[in-house]
């Protein structure tokens, strides 16, 4: 996989789990962990690599809770060479004595009963929790084998499990001076599509947790790769903001705001915010509730935005320079080049929205607003030089916005008499039902031409793009709107722009990026992904963005043609043909056109999309019956933001380092 797909993740859509097949016979009440094994996707989202890594998050979240309660300092996550994962913490240890209600060991209740993962004492509330917050018992249920080792009361206790059921009682296996919990699990190979843990995937989430919880130290050991890393950030959100903006030019250093309030309810809501400005033009706001990335925002983000705009405007009004007197600065103006992290800890979070990542608690909006209003105006008063820089930046943004509006109005007026404003280069499809339609954004006019001829024009539209599109990370709105290629993309999709963008209005159900499998193609894909990430992110969240996978090789033996999408497939096809033709002598010859012949098999490498004729392009890359599409998903918004800042930001050195570090991904693509 190439580097651009690392955190803005892609997965083959064929492997998507089929969820909730509620035939009549399956409607019966399932009790306990059997339910988890029968419908695993309902509990952990899916059974792909993502679901697999959720297992680690679920276990770590319990240790984070223990840390937030003030009892745990260090968490060690080990990816063992036998394929298992263990999570060890130095908290109080899961109680092993009899459970007050169930009478059996509390450890067994926690490990083997659904939703029994929470704390039993009411004084502390559970603040962390994975996306699904299903607890360690689900992890146990989805493991072929698991064990818990508890250090508590001077003893070391151990219990083992298989498929979520205990295979031993809680036994004392030694004595100890320390306390803590160790849970080791072997993901069930009959349930997950993949069971190999990946270091970087594990590390990305644990780094994020370490930024959000500066009191903990999280160590990750990969026994297979021999890698080891310690995440501990004393600076918390300040370090987080610096990390995200590492490749950007920062001109207002981090401002940290922190406080808590009950908002008139029983429990305190803790608010931590950190922001800084870089010389770029996009807004990067990452928000968290109880360590969960709230990609759909919610009341905490609303509170942040309104307080930010209000306080900034109030300051601008009382510190008017001659220039900005005439300008009305908007929230957008203040958010150009802003990187901010908002982290709140809420006792009883209500999650709403399509993906349950939008905070609904109404009291939180006011709590965030009040804390930010007070502390942000204190910051501005105490740092007049920084405040001036922010105002200057916002003023420039406002001027550009007004100029952009004027040119947009001009464009609109010009088009009044035209019935259709679709771009001339677009070969649209004939169907008008978006969910059935797809658009290919194709690199280069020649590939665009082949695609236009090869497509099924009923439901496939083609938009050829000329050369490299504009890097939206480095350009201001006005310039972006002046760019023909980008305008063509926006008008073809037809879902609006910027503030008015509404992904549900997309004219196509699938937007498919199709570029060559070489360095240039990879760069174009990254630029396009950046455009979608920054300006059309909801299309990604709604699962509408895809990457086409053209083959790398064509093999021909007699009348038969085969396509291979990687070296492994190519070798597999050669082996198969050889087995079917056992008498063929092993020899290699070179054809006149440079085509290699191995045992009479003509092997050619596709250098680019343009090399395929329309029929080949249809067969290999566009025919829904035979093609492979990678769906673009944002699994880790923080990591994705960081990657785009690095790849597209203005500092060269971090970009070079990043590409070198991820060279193996780049290489896979270019071999
Ligand atoms: C229930 C009660 C107490 C601690 C825990 C669970 C606990 C769970 C996990 C899971 C991973 N690490 C953990 N550490 C602690 C409180 C026990 C007490 O009052 O001593």
pLDDT tens profile 256-282: 999 999 998 889 999 999 999 998 888
> Residue 201's CB: how many other CB atoms inside 10 A?
20
Residue 323: inside a domain? yes
Last residue of a domain, one of 605, 625, 640: 605
Residue that the structure tokens 């031993």 belong to: 168
What is the whole-number distance in angstroms between the Cα of residue 43 and the centre of ligand 1? 22
Q: In this predicted structure, what is the pLDDT of residue 15?
A: 34
446, 577: one domain: no
Residue 445: pLDDT band (50, 70, 90) is confident
pLDDT band at 467 (very low <50, low <70, confident <90, very high): confident
Question: Is the domain of 437 the same as that of 529?
Answer: yes
- Per-residue model confidence (pLDDT) at position 2: 39
Take atom 4 of ligand 1 and give the residue whose Cα is closest.
94
Residue 648 burial class via C-beta count within 10 angstroms: exposed 0-12, middle 13-18, buried 19 and up: buried
Specify whether 534 is located in the same domain as 575.
no
Ligand 1 atom nearest residue 136's Cα: 10
Residue closest via CA to ligand 1's atom 1 equals 119
Query: Per the domain annotation, does 524 fall within a domain?
Result: yes
Q: What is the pLDDT of residue 400?
A: 83
Interhelix angle for 199-212 vs 237-244, to 10°? Answer: 130
Q: Please tell me the residue having the least CA distance from ligand 1 atom 20.
A: 92
Q: Is the pLDDT of residue 665 over 80?
A: no
Could you report the per-residue pLDDT of 503-537, keeping only the tens digit for each? 999 999 999 999 988 888 888 888 898 889 888 88
Average pLDDT over residues 163-192: 97
Asked if residues 61 and 115 have their Cβ atoms less than 8 Å apart, the reply is no
pLDDT surpasses 80 at 297: yes
Q: Tell me the HSE value of 95 on the side-chain side, using a 13 A CA sphere.
A: 15
Residue 650 has pLDDT above 90, yes or no: no
The verdict on the CB of residue 99 being under 6 Å from ligand 1 is no
CB 357 less than 6 A from any atom of ligand 1: no
What integer pLDDT is reported at residue 326 of this predicted model?
Answer: 67
Specify whether 399 is located in the same domain as 286. Answer: yes
Question: How many domains does one find in the chain?
Answer: 4
For residue 16, pLDDT beyond 60: no
* Average pLDDT, integer, range 121-146: 68
What DSSP string runs through 346-391? -SS--EESTTS-EE--HHHHHHHHHHHHHHHHHHHHH-HHHHHHHH
Q: Residue 116 C-alpha to ligand 1 middle, in angstroms?
A: 11
Given 588, 605, 622, the domain boundary residue is 605
Decide if pLDDT at 193 tops 60: yes
pLDDT digits (tens, 9 = 90+) for 361-405: 999 999 999 999 999 999 999 999 999 999 999 998 888 888 777
Both 466 and 567 in one domain: the answer is no
Is 52 within a domain? yes
Alpha-carbon separation of residue 73 from 63, 64, 68, 152 (angstroms): 9, 9, 9, 16
Out of 283-292, 380-389, 490-499, 531-540, pick the least confident: 490-499
Q: Which residues of 530-540 are buried (b: 16+ CB within 10 A; e: fewer)?
A: bbbbbbbbbbb
How much is the average pLDDT of 215-227? Answer: 96
At residue 3, the pLDDT reads 40
The predicted model gives 554-560 an average pLDDT of: 88
Task: Convert the pLDDT of each residue in 24-45 to its tens digit.
Answer: 333 334 457 888 999 998 888 8
Q: Tell me, using a 6 A CB cutoff, whether residue 97 lines ligand 1.
A: no
Tell me if 629 is assigned to some domain. no
Q: Cα dist. 160→44, 143, 165, 167, 187 in Å?
A: 22, 11, 8, 5, 14
113 and 190 assigned to the same domain? yes
Select the more confidently predicted residue: 139 or 26. 139
Same domain for 87 and 101?
yes
The CATH number that applies at residue 154 is 3.30.565.10
- The Cα–Cα gap between 289 and 270 comes to 10
* pLDDT for residue 10 is more than 90: no
Reduced to 3 DSSP states, what percent helix, strand and coil does the chain have, rounded to the nearest 5? 40, 25, 40
Judge whether residue 119 has pLDDT over 70. Answer: no
The residue among 183, 202, 231 that closes a domain is 231
Question: Is the predicted pLDDT of residue 218 greater than 50, yes or no?
Answer: yes
Q: Are residues 59 and 202 in the same domain?
A: yes
Instruction: Please pick, among 518, 561, 567, 575, the residue that the annotation labels catalytic.
Output: 518
Q: Which residue has the higher pLDDT, 477 or 354?
A: 354
Residue 659: pLDDT band with limits 50, 70, 90:
low
Q: Cα dist. 349→33, 61, 556 in Å?
A: 25, 16, 60
**pTM for this entry:** 0.76
Same domain? For 391 and 445 the reply is no
Active-site option among 363, 520, 599, 650: 520
Q: Is 66 helix (H, G, I), strand (E, B) or coil?
A: helix
94 ligand 1 Cβ < 6 A: yes
Do 42 and 166 belong together in one domain?
A: yes
Check whether 309 has a pLDDT greater than 80.
yes
At residue 320, the pLDDT reads 67
Coil, strand or helix: which one is 580? helix
Of 151, 333, 443, 636, the catalytic one is 443
| 65 CA distance to ligand 1 middle (Å) | 9
- The pLDDT assigned to 407 comes to 67
Q: Using one digit for the tens of pLDDT, what is the confidence trace for 570-597?
A: 999 988 888 887 765 666 666 656 667 7
Eight-class DSSP state of 619: I
Averaged pLDDT of the chain: 85
Across 454-467, average pLDDT: 94
What percentage of the chain carries pLDDT values higher than 90?
A: 54
Q: Which domain holds residue 66?
A: 34-231
418 or 554: which carries more pLDDT confidence?
554
Confirm whether 516 is a catalytic residue: yes
Domain membership flag for residue 24 = no
- Same domain for 212 and 244, yes or no, is no
With a cut of 60, say whether residue 418 has pLDDT above it.
no
Judge whether 588 lies within some domain.
yes
- CATH at residue 504: 3.40.50.670
Q: Is residue 569 flagged as an active site residue?
A: no
Please check whether residues 258 and 196 belong to one and the same domain. Answer: no
Q: Residue 652: is its pLDDT beyond 80?
A: no
- Residue 4 falls inside a structural domain: no
461 falls within a domain: yes
Q: How far apart are CA 225 and CA 207, in angstroms?
A: 19
CATH of residue 361: 3.30.230.10
- Asked whether 649 and 473 are in contact (CB, 8 A), the reply is yes
E strand intervals along 317-405 = 338-345, 351-352, 358-359
CA of 268 to the centre of ligand 1 (A): 22
């Amino acid at each position: 996989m190439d580097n651009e797909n690392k955190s803005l993740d892609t997965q083959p859509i064929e492997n998507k789990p089929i969820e909730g097949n509620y035939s009549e016979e399956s409607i019966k009440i399932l009790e306990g962990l059997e339910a988890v094994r029968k419908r695993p996707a309902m509990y952990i989202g899916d059974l792909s690599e993502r679901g697999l890594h959720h297992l680690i998050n679920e276990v770590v979240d319990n240790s984070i809770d223990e840390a937030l309660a003030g009892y745990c300092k260090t968490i060690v996550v080990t990816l063992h060479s036998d394929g298992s994962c263990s999570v060890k913490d130095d908290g109080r240890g899961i109680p092993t004595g009899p459970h007050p209600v169930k009478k059996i060991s509390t450890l067994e209740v926690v490990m083997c009963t659904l939703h029994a993962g929470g704390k039993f004492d009411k004084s502390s509330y559970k603040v962390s929790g994975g996306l699904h917050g299903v607890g360690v018992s689900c992890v146990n249920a989805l493991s072929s084998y698991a064990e818990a080792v508890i250090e508590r009361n001077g003893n070391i206790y151990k219990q083992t499990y298989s498929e979520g059921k205990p295979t031993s009682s809680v036994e004392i296996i030694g004595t100890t001076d320390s306390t803590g919990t160790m849970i080791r699990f072997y993901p069930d190979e009959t349930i997950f599509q993949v069971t190999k843990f990946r270091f970087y995937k594990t590390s990305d989430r644990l780094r994020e947790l370490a930024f959000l919880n500066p009191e903990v130290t999280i160590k990750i050991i990969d026994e297979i790769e021999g890698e080891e890393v310690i995440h501990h950030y004393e600076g918390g959100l300040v370090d987080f903001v610096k990390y995200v903006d590492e490749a950007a030019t920062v001109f207002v250093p981090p401002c940290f705001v922190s406080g808590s309030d009950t908002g008139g309810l029983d429990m305190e809501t803790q608010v931590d915010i950190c922001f800084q400005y870089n010389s770029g033009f996009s807004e990067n706001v990452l928000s968290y509730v109880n360590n969960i990335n709230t990609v759909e925002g919610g009341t905490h983000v609303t509170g942040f935005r309104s307080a930010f705009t209000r306080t900034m405007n109030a300051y601008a009004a009382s510190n008017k320079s001659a220039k900005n007197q005439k300008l009305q600065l908007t929230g957008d103006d203040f958010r150009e080049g802003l990187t901010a992290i908002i982290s709140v800890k809420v006792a009883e979070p209500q999650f709403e929205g399509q993906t349950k990542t939008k905070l609904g608690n109404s009291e939180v909006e006011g709590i965030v607003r009040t804390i930010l209003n007070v502390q942000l105006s204190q910051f501005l008063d105490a740092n007049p030089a920084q405040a001036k820089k922010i105002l200057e930046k916002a003023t420039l943004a406002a001027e550009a916005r007004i100029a952009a509006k004027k040119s947009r109005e001009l464009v609109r007026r010009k088009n009044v008499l035209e019935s259709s404003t679709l771009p001339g280069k677009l070969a649209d499809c004939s169907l008008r039902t978006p969910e059935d339609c797809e658009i290919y954004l194709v690199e280069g006019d020649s590939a665009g031409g082949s695609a236009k001829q090869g497509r099924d024009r009923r439901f496939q539209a083609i938009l050829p793009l000329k050369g490299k599109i504009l890097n939206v990370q480095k350009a201001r709105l006005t310039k972006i709107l002046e760019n023909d290629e980008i305008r063509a993309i926006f008008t073809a999709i037809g879902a609006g722009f910027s503030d008015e963008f509404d992904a549900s209005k997309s004219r196509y159900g699938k937007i498919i990026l199709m570029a060559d499998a070489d360095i240039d193609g990879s760069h174009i894909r990254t630029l396009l992904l950046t455009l979608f990430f920054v300006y059309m992110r909801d299309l990604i969240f709604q699962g509408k963005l895809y990457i086409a996978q053209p083959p790398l090789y064509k093999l021909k033996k007699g009348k038969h043609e085969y396509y291979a999408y990687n070296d492994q497939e190519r070798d597999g096809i050669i082996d198969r043909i050889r087995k079917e033709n056992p008498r063929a002598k092993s020899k290699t010859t070179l054809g006149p056109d440079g085509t290699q012949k191995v045992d009479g098999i003509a092997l050619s490498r596709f250098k680019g999309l343009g090399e395929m004729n329309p029929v080949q392009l249809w067969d290999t890359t566009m025919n829904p019956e035979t093609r492979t599409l990678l769906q673009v998903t944002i699994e880790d918004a923080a990591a994705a933001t960081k990657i785009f800042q690095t790849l597209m930001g203005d500092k060269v050195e971090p970009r070079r380092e990043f590409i070198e570090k991820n060279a193996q991904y780049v290489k896979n693509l270019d071999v």
